Structure 1
Amino acid sequence: MVCYVRGGKVHCVRVLDMWRRSCLLWAAVTAVLPAITTVAAWEDVFSSTKRIWRESRFCQVVPGLEKVGQLEVVCEGIKSLSDAGTLVDVKQQPRVTTLTVTYSNLTRIALDDLQAFPALTTLSLNNSVTSDWASPSVVGVPKVTCLILDRCWDNYALEAKNIKTTRPAFALTLEQLNMLPDLKELYIVESFLYHLDRLQPPPHIHIIVEGGGIECRAESLWVMDWVSSGKADVSNSTRCFVPTSDPFHMKYSFVDKFFLITMGYWKEMERDCPERCKCLLNGIRDNHLPMIGVNCSGIGLSHIPESIPAHSHSVYLDNNTITNFTRVFTHPLYRNVDKISLTYNKITSMDGRLFYQFAHNRSLDLCINLSHNQLSKFPVKEVQRVYDEALERDTQHLPIFVLGYNPWDCDDCSFLPGFQKIVYHIKYSQNSVRPYLDIRCKEGARSDLAMQQVMKLDVVSLCRPDPPLLTPMDVLVICLAILLILFLLNFLHNFFQYRRHGKLPWIITKLPSC
């Protein structure tokens, strides 16, 4: 399969090989067929067969344009562009306008080697190595206006940097393109670019990228500008290319994500990034949404930024003078944030009602770092409610807090028991980081509590309720004592009545006589 340009479009056709190539291929296979017993043996046969397939050189004319005085030539297996001049009939050379080089290991790409084709305007390199480029050094070289790079590679540059990749890739620099002074159209077909220089004005080159991949990074944003202005066309199937075979980077980066979508997110991120903050696109999730990090640390903020890029997943606001962060719970742009860091600020409280509305039924992880602030109380009821409801739903998306180095009020027994439960949640959710050890009572607390770890406090004994003034037994004893006193008083009264008046007590007169 080879590609060429005709009528402003890229066409791909199949080219039949000469009979001797088929004979060589069949001879290679039949010679080792009895020895093929394993997969490794098959790979060796394939490698040897491919080598033999490419060792033969030939050029042939693509039928279709002979009558109009133009010729399209396909050369295969050549090691230099000058080989095409020796393999094409001298009488046909002046009429060649399109040259396609396929399955070749070109040691040099230079217009000097194409002087045999003065009418050449289109050069197409298919499935070939493109290692060295050279500027024209002689007069009379053809004016190549269209360059097609179809499935080309130059992995030697990557290997020199100890970068391993499973895909054939190459770099395309401005210096290389300047070696084709008359170039107007550049087609990059099913190729993977690990580096693409920004084209400087005058913008006389139109770029067409079909399939393949381009490295997604900030330096590639100029391609999006060219696409918007019509100076470049990138197909929807073109993906991001990362020159690595590391499984971690293959999963958590831009590998095989669509280039236009990814760079569109990147462009929006840079547009919406808050002033003086730094924003970074860390990767694309499996749901094709970006992972954007926003860093606004140490820039003197006194409040939460009003706007951040859409789909931001982490926000760092450390080392500022922020006192209130309720905007995190109310602003829709913070809805998808799964990590927010507010260390070394002046925060004194957290709104429990707004937090519950924010974290309720949340399907994303949430980590809020509030260490090194001025918190003394915490909305334990609302946070515990979120935990309880999450456990009822058997979800793993529990909010995580980092609360160390705050002056926690351990004297308030209406707050301390519930807060200690929250600390235990933090312990079991962050047992590897162990930030719960830094959650301590404030220095101004009771002498036996100052700077004590909240998790290790004996809350039951510390917050034991005061005993009542009177127990039931005390009440019973008092009642009996009162009755006894009344009885004694009545006895004394009756005794004095009898001594003075001889009058017996009333109850005695009512008793029957013997």
Structure 2
Amino acid sequence: MPTTTAPMVVESSSAAAPTLSFELRLLLLMALLALLSGSVRVANGEYISHHYQHNFTCVDWKRAPEAAVGNCTRYGRYGALRCYGGINNLPAIPEQKVRRLEEIVFCGWPERAFNPLTDLQPFPKIRSLTIEYSELREFVLDFPEMFYLQSINISWTNLSQINARTFKRVHALRVVDLRWNKLVQLDGPLLLPRYFEKLYLAENPWNCTRNFKWLLIPEKGEMVADRDEIICTDKKYKERHMLTVMNYKVMLRTECQSHADLQNCTCTMHHIIPKTHIPLYTINCSNLQFHAMPNYIPANTTTIYLNDNQITDVLPLRNNPTYRHVVDVHLDNNRIESIDVLEGGYWFEHFRLLSLRGNELQKMPVYALDNALDDNPNANLLLLSGNPWQCTCIFTMRFREILMKYIEIMRDAGNITCNYKHISPLRRANVLAITREDVCKPEEEPKIYPLDLLNGVLAFLIVLILSKLAYDYYHYKNYGRVPWIVMKLP
């Protein structure tokens, strides 16, 4: 028995040693992993900011003791520096330590401008830059040649503009966060280094009337990590998603360029209906020597400009279904002679604006215009001045009544004039000021009426008789001579 028991004890003791060794190795491995997770670098060399690890923020930075004098404080073992309201005590920190700093956080940058060339010169090995809750408005210069800086966070500032080349020479740059600033526009996509990863642009008052179509280009737009969250704040597209606006703009441009009738026209989107997100388009084909209205216009077009062309008729407004929902039509300075074809049509009873100034209109169906304006609650503006209206007795008086009745819609009524005959050659007069006597007289009227001639003769005889009576009275009183006619009486 003893000979068999001893080996078993030795076996158990020899097995315990490797078990204990494995546990120690596991503990050492976990400690090593913990150390690596807190480090500022990972295996592939990418920098992880200590600022983000501890969720540090500059909110309420003014409560920090250093804020009273605008000083900086070094912290942590990773070479980080926090500055509150200034960098007044930076010269007091040993230069050797400053040059080793890898992370800089500026809370409340005291100036409106930031010059990367001079303000970052003391920190040649900086890997993370943060500027928050500051009056910063602009970068004086682009960032200089930098080989270590990987993360830039500029948030909660008054930064309102940024150059496309601002970060071009920051060769190791991976992340740029520009949220919560005052940025309105970008002239184009930022020029960024080859291995750049993420750009954040949301929560800025972006003006979507500017050109942001580059967001739809995969190799340029996909690096904007929050592009789905960017909201427009301009008056035209307020509270619409920027990607939605840009998608509609690109679709409209493609559609206009694909049709020969509109290739030289300017196609723009002027509104997006809030709830339905339906886009509304404006087509401008002015001054393009058109002899007819385009046969095709994109769906959802509500406004079209065709001024200063050679168009002679408006028949498409009645017959072409693509114009059914066009409510504003500008046809100034063309060669339109009549709009009779619009009578009784759908468009004429649903339009909002029709401008026909400077055409060749002489007459129009006044009753049809009256019916259309009376039945159309959408009619807001009808402009007819600058046409050679011919004022006849019947048309003029009725036309004048319509102008006065719809003076709020026909706002240029005071400038509408007409040609009419008044004894001699044609005269031009304001329709609102013209009277029935001006236009309802016969074309050939004598200068002296017979009744006027008779009245003149009678007046002459009365004067003659009174003169003879005065003559006879004078001679009778002074000479006693009576008129000879009295002597001849029986």
3-state SS of paired residue (2:178): strand
Inter-partner Cα distance in structure 1 for 2:362 and 2:355: 15
User: Contact 1:193–1:213 (CA<8 Å) still a contact in 2?
Assistant: yes
The answer for the alignment partner of 1:113 in structure 2 is 120
Task: Mark the CA change 1:203 to 1:358 in structure 2 (over 3 Å): closer, same or farther.
Answer: farther
TM-score (norm 1): 0.59
Shift of 1:320: 1.0
The answer for the alignment partner of 2:382 in structure 1 is 401
Task: Mark the CA change 1:91 to 1:126 in structure 2 (over 3 Å): closer, same or farther.
Answer: closer
The answer for the alignment partner of 1:326 in structure 2 is 315
Deviations 1:263-311 (A, max 9, x none): 3444344434432223455666777766754332221101112344555
Inter-partner Cα distance in structure 2 for 1:404 and 1:343: 10
The answer for the alignment partner of 1:102 in structure 2 is 107
Task: Mark the CA change 1:17 to 1:374 in structure 2 (over 3 Å): closer, same or farther.
Answer: closer
Inter-partner Cα distance in structure 1 for 2:122 and 2:267: 51
Inter-partner Cα distance in structure 2 for 1:290 and 1:314: 12
User: Contact 1:111–1:135 (CA<8 Å) still a contact in 2?
Assistant: no
TM-score (norm 2): 0.61
The answer for the alignment partner of 1:42 in structure 2 is none
The answer for the alignment partner of 1:216 in structure 2 is 208
Inter-partner Cα distance in structure 2 for 1:450 and 1:190: 67
Inter-partner Cα distance in structure 1 for 2:286 and 2:368: 29
The answer for the alignment partner of 2:168 in structure 1 is 178
The one-letter code of the counterpart of 1:263 is M
Task: Mark the CA change 1:328 to 1:179 in structure 2 (over 3 Å): closer, same or farther.
Answer: farther
Matches within 5 A, 1:49-64: 55-61=70-76
Shift of 1:200: 7.5
3-state SS of paired residue (2:153): strand
- Say which is worse superposed, 220-229 or 142-151, in terms of deviation: 220-229
The answer for the alignment partner of 1:299 in structure 2 is 288
User: Contact 1:214–1:239 (CA<8 Å) still a contact in 2?
Assistant: yes
Q: Where do 5+ consecutive residues of structure 1 fail to align?
A: 25-51, 153-167, 243-251, 465-514
3-state SS of paired residue (1:422): helix
Inter-partner Cα distance in structure 2 for 1:81 and 1:175: 30
The yes-or-no answer on 1:125 pairing with 2:167 is no
Inter-partner Cα distance in structure 1 for 2:59 and 2:211: 42
Inter-partner Cα distance in structure 1 for 2:271 and 2:79: 44
Task: Mark the CA change 1:337 to 1:303 in structure 2 (over 3 Å): closer, same or farther.
Answer: same
Task: Mark the CA change 1:354 to 1:387 in structure 2 (over 3 Å): closer, same or farther.
Answer: closer
Shift of 1:347: 1.2
The answer for the alignment partner of 2:5 in structure 1 is none
Q: 2:400 aligns with which of 407, 416, 420?
A: 420
Inter-partner Cα distance in structure 1 for 2:403 and 2:432: 6
Task: Mark the CA change 1:271 to 1:376 in structure 2 (over 3 Å): closer, same or farther.
Answer: same
**Alpha-carbon RMSD:** 4.7
The answer for the alignment partner of 1:76 in structure 2 is 83
Inter-partner Cα distance in structure 2 for 1:127 and 1:90: 26
3-state SS of paired residue (1:260): helix
Amino-acid identity (%): 17
Shift of 1:189: 1.4
The answer for the alignment partner of 2:55 in structure 1 is 13
The answer for the alignment partner of 2:356 in structure 1 is 370
3-state SS of paired residue (2:129): strand
The answer for the alignment partner of 2:415 in structure 1 is 437
The yes-or-no answer on 1:345 pairing with 2:350 is no
Shift of 1:455: 3.2
User: Contact 1:211–1:235 (CA<8 Å) still a contact in 2?
Assistant: no
The answer for the alignment partner of 1:455 in structure 2 is 432
The one-letter code of the counterpart of 2:83 is E
The one-letter code of the counterpart of 1:185 is V
User: Contact 2:188–2:212 (CA<8 Å) still a contact in 1?
Assistant: yes
Inter-partner Cα distance in structure 2 for 1:176 and 1:213: 20
3-state SS of paired residue (2:402): helix
Q: 1:276 aligns with which of 264, 269, 279?
A: 264
Inter-partner Cα distance in structure 1 for 2:405 and 2:430: 15
Deviations 1:154-180 (A, max 9, x none): xxxxxxxxxxxxxx2322113322242
User: Contact 1:59–1:84 (CA<8 Å) still a contact in 2?
Assistant: no
Task: Mark the CA change 1:76 to 1:257 in structure 2 (over 3 Å): closer, same or farther.
Answer: farther
User: Contact 1:329–1:358 (CA<8 Å) still a contact in 2?
Assistant: yes
3-state SS of paired residue (2:199): strand
Higher strand proportion, which one?
1
Shift of 1:131: 3.5
3-state SS of paired residue (2:201): strand
Inter-partner Cα distance in structure 2 for 1:92 and 1:267: 49
Shift of 1:203: 7.3
Shift of 1:56: 4.4
Deviations 1:75-129 (A, max 9, x none): 23264699499499949957x4x544332236432498377574x5443332232
3-state SS of paired residue (1:420): helix
Shift of 1:356: 4.2
Deviations 1:40-70 (A, max 9, x none): xxxxxxxxxxxx5583433544xxxx8xxxx
Task: Mark the CA change 1:380 to 1:231 in structure 2 (over 3 Å): closer, same or farther.
Answer: farther
The one-letter code of the counterpart of 2:205 is G
3-state SS of paired residue (2:389): coil
The answer for the alignment partner of 1:189 in structure 2 is 179
Q: Where do 5+ consecutive residues of structure 2 fail to align?
A: 1-46, 257-261, 442-490
3-state SS of paired residue (2:171): coil
Task: Mark the CA change 1:20 to 1:326 in structure 2 (over 3 Å): closer, same or farther.
Answer: closer
The one-letter code of the counterpart of 1:302 is H
Shift of 1:353: 4.8
The answer for the alignment partner of 2:156 in structure 1 is 151
The yes-or-no answer on 1:260 pairing with 2:240 is no
Deviations 1:12-31 (A, max 9, x none): 9355999994679xxxxxxx
